């Protein structure tokens, strides 16, 4: 996990530090998602459209009952 301090500009914009852009594989013009969870902001590089289409057109599976999505989410950000 990379953690670098940055500042919010007067127009509400934030610069994503180079080390973070490199870790996420972000380049100028790339699309990204910004979302919040329990008071934290997260940035994710948007996958290519083809991969989203493949994901949503793939075989449908039923989820197990009582899935703890919060625990799964937290585990994905622990390192």
Residue 67 lies in a domain: yes
**What's the pLDDT tens digit per position in 15-54?**
999 999 998 889 998 888 888 989 988 888 887 555 556 6
Residue 46 lies in a domain: yes
Instruction: Quote the pLDDT of residue 78.
Output: 66
Total domains in the chain come to 1
The confidence band for 72, taking pLDDT boundaries of 50, 70 and 90, is confident
0.75 exceeded by pTM: no
| Maximum pairwise Cα distance, the chain | 47
Instruction: Quote the pLDDT of residue 53.
Output: 64
Say how far apart CA 8 and CA 36 lie, in whole Å: 16
Residue 9 lies in a domain: no
Domain range enclosing 29: 18-76
Residue 3 lies in a domain: no
More confident residue, 76 or 17: 17
45, 32 Cβ separation under 8 angstroms:
yes
């Amino acid at each position: 996990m990379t953690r670098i301090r940055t500042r919010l500009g007067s127009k509400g914009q934030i610069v994503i530090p180079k080390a973070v852009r490199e870790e996420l594989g972000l380049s100028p013009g790339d699309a990204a998602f910004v979302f919040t969870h329990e008071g934290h902001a997260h940035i994710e590089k948007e996958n290519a459209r083809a991969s989203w289409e493949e994901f949503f057109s793939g075989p449908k599976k039923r989820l197990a009952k009582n899935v703890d999505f919060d625990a799964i989410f937290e585990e994905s950000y622990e390192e």
